[in-house]
Amino acid sequence: MDLLQRLGRFLDRPGFPWKKLIVGFSLAEYLFEGFLSARQYRVLQEKKPPKALEGEVSQEVFDKSQAYGRAKAKFGFVANLYSQIQNYGIIYYDLLPKLWGLTGVWLTQYVPAKYQGEIVHTLIFFFTYNIITTVLGLPTSYYSTFVLEEKYGFNKSTVKLWIMDMIKGQALMVVFGAPLLSGFLAIVQKTGNSFFYYLWLFSVVVSLFAITIYPIFILPLFNKLSPLEQGPLKTGVENLAKRLKFPLNSLYVIDGSKRSAHSNAYFYGLPWKKHIVIYDTLIEKSETEEVVGVLAHELGHWSLGHTTKLLGISQFHTFYIFALFSVFINNRSLYQSFGFHKEFPIIIGFILFSDALAPMDTVVKLLMNILSRKFEFQADEFAVKLGYSKDLASSLIKLQIQNLSTMNADWMYASYHFSHPILPERLGALGYYGDEKKAETKRMDDEKPVKASDREL
């Protein structure tokens, strides 16, 4: 703790150009990601599918996938530029101190004196800022949903549903955001220089709370979960769960088609009580064994401890962020560089600290994606050992076609952005290369173990 305090005093240098440094970080990140996107755009101009997909994907589907990828890339260029201009405008025109001052006026005029203080002031500032950023994001959100996704047949939403989702999101922000942000501020105010220990414990409790209430109170506000009907699919999934000793509590179908034609499946829950959710679009467009193959991959993450490892990494990262924040929280030169000369609000300190941390976040993102892709290969291998190589490969190809996902990728772009390997890499790892490898795939399936006890879980 003494080391952190000494580091904090060292970094608090009057006149240090924090604003220029943070703007430079933001610009460098924007240019770097633009460079990667330009590399990926060249790949999206290729005319033929990768060799691994030549026998699986028609030229028409490949062309449409490439067009969809190019359309998303062009939109990404514009959206990122728009975001960059917003960020620069907020910094250049000192909008943060001006908004803090304006919300302070509202606080004194409309809030009883006994409730006035930094916590209530911060809540007014935060929700005002959130509304402003939401409004500024409406053009890109609307275009993405009702122009881009609509053009390629994915959007199933309506303007009314889109608006209602935003209203619900803002309402949830107030209901849950207010007590969480108040708790965050109160901990920092009352626990002194060791606040980051208590903030971390608070975040652990909040995470467990979120896992518990999300499926009960939040998810039903946006989607309908229905129990999976009796049939071959339910039997297959339940048998798979028993085989792996997965603590399955319930099986649900989610009406993903209400908003999009994209497909997915996932599980959630506490360690002793898990729930599996399958998108209706996945069930509609896949064979029963293919869906079970996808879930064999997903449960592989659980069986191999990936979810536990990622949770541990996440908690370590959270602790590390809060510990570093303790270095910057009293940095007057940072506040003053952004126009805060008399007041030094905690929330502003955290916002500016997050901006200063951008280069490190870039490195963390790269490393986490590398680890995630490794885990994906391991989960695929797990499904193969269970005998689902053919079903998983077939399902991955179908999902690729249904979602018009990127068929190929520039290696630098993929390393930085992709949490999953591209399809040709996954098919290669599965030993699936098209028609000439189907006999080999069948042989692998014929050798699958009969009982879970035949392998080490």
Residue 157 C-beta-side C-alpha neighbours within 13 Å: 25
376 annotated as a binding-site residue: yes
Helices and strands (DSSP H and E) totals, the chain: 20, 4
Tell me whether residue 380 is one of the annotated catalytic residues: yes
Task: Characterize the bridge pairing of strands 248-254 and 273-279.
Answer: parallel
d(CA 392, CA 409): 21
Give the residue among 429, 425, 423 at the shortest CA–CA distance from 397: 423
Burial class for 372, CB neighbours closer than 10 Å (0-12, 13-18, 19+) = middle
297 annotated as a binding-site residue: yes
Helix (H, G, I), strand (E, B) or coil at 225: strand
* Partners of residue 237 on adjacent β-strands: none
262 annotated as a binding-site residue: no
Burial class for 20, CB neighbours closer than 10 Å (0-12, 13-18, 19+) = exposed
The DSSP 8-state label assigned to residue 214 in this structure reads I
b/e per residue, 313-332, with b = 16+ CB within 10 A?
A: eeeeebbebbbbbbbbbebe
Q: Please state the φ and ψ torsions of residue 394, each to the nearest 5 degrees.
A: -60, -40
CA torsion 195-197-200-201 (nearest 10°) is -110
Asked whether the beta carbons of 429 and 377 are under 8 A apart, the reply is: yes
Tell me which of 56, 149, 290, 380 is the catalytic residue: 380
Tell me which of 289, 290, 298, 410 is the catalytic residue: 298
* Partners of residue 250 on adjacent β-strands: 275
Burial class for 253, CB neighbours closer than 10 Å (0-12, 13-18, 19+) = buried
d(CA 390, CA 290): 8
Q: Please state the φ and ψ torsions of residue 259, each to the nearest 5 degrees.
A: -120, -30
Max Cα distance, the chain (Å): 78
Give the tokens for residue 229. 């009907």
d(CA 90, CA 304): 45
d(CA 265, CA 294): 8
How large is the C-alpha radius of gyration of the chain? 25
Helix (H, G, I), strand (E, B) or coil at 96: helix
Q: Please state the φ and ψ torsions of residue 250, each to the nearest 5 degrees.
A: -155, 155
Binding residues: 297, 301, 376
- List residues with catalytic annotation: 298, 380
Binding residues for Zn(2+): 297, 301, 376
